[in-house]
Chain A
Amino acid sequence: MISKEICERVLQKASSTGADYAEIFAENTLNHSVNLVGGKVDAVHDAQIAGAAVRVFLGLRSVMATTVDTSEAGLMRCAQRAAEALAEGRAEGTISLRERLNGDIHPIYVAPSSVANAGKVELLRTASAAASGYDPSVVQVTATLLDVDHRILVATSEGLWTQDRQIRTRMMVQAVAEKNGETQTGFCSPGARRGMELFDAVDPREVGLEAARQAVTMAGAGYCPAGVMPVAIGNGFGGVIFHEACGHSLEASSVAYGNSQFCGKLGQKIAHEKVTAIDDGTIPGDWGSINIDDEGTPAQRKVLIENGVLKSYMIDKFNGRRMGMASTGSARRQSFSYVPTSRMTNTFIAPGADRDEDIIASIEYGLYAKSMGGGSVNPVTGEFNFAVSEGYLIRNGKICEPVRGASLVGKGSEIIQRIDMVGAELKCGQGMCGSSSGSIPTNVGQPLIRVSSITVGGR
């Protein structure tokens, strides 16, 4: 995208007023999606994102300037803006870059950009027809196939010049079912850091059927009762509980500023001993995986919590300075126009030894949250919430009737001590996580778990 020689001159300019670190992040991204509504192609979104950001640090201060003009002159003006804003001293030394080649552990067999719209429409029609045909109560189906081809370049005053190409593909189906004038929705959205070969493993028909099954089940359901009770949370996207209750509070963007319930707790027991949690950006083909993060640091597998003991935070270079700790390959940004910060990749609770049937049987009266929607958290207080998209009451250790409209709320530091049973079958679900550096793909995951007591928001 931008040659080493140009990068050297731009970094030199960026550092000219005394920065102790300078960085160029450039990208050229194709965002593409096809959307079907009621079985008909309603929209094609086709956008090219291209630009660059120059960042400089001096001590605990950071400056970023961005531009869509990636000519040498445009980049030099951008570097000049960054340097002027820092304006503290003079440059020392010269910058010379060496190229680093990152092994790509995510082979792409069919680049989505090489498949014509018509081929994508076929897959969507299959998914949409399956959902519509599932039950007469399904009144609307929307289906989207999106793919992203994200090429990045990172060059830093530490001498690094490197590139990565990150391709992702995802299908999302929403079904609406209607009974007695009321509607409920069902959603299924598998995705991966793969090309169109994703659909060798994922049958679009199954995606449609799953969305429809969920909508139809919920349309017949009564409201979830309210109160404090034990809850069994299903595997897959159920892992959003750890993402919200704990994950965000382990990001350096909160920890470095004292705004996390887990500050200063490294080496201490913060969770139930059955909880081991991992953030792993290196899983081949997984939705949240990266070869390198957006500061050029290779992705890592980090054990965040081991048998209840806090082992690691998720750290980017800038916030790591304040913490006196090295980057963990966690710097991520939606695009060049966002300031990168520490974020999650594929974050999950590791498999335990409990059997699923024992977890359900252990609950006399409670909720089985089979599928989850999204959630959010305030890292300062640790208060989080997330929505249950498919829930069932448990009575006398048996899964009973479906219930709708529930959410779970609690305080992260308390809830992770109450995860007292962990099943063996780990599964992940795909999500988009929103935070200060934009919306990024992350996996959440877990086996079936039991939370001994949590507030269920129903009625």
Chain B
Amino acid sequence: MKIKSVKLLKIDGVFSSYKLTLDSDEVLHVPNDEDNTDYQKIIKWVAEGNTIEEAD
């Protein structure tokens, strides 16, 4: 699984999910949970120098 982009989604200013788009264009909505393995991949992706897009 290769991450293309990650965007923060909020509703009424409150965290909703991370919109994770893969290289295959598959979209995942990832919660803010350290036990979620997709969240762990986002943290690793950020540590590699990538940036999460801010919410609209």
User: Are these two chains actual partners, yes or no?
Assistant: no
What is B's interface to A at a CB cutoff of 8 Å?
none
What is A's interface to B at a CB cutoff of 8 Å?
none
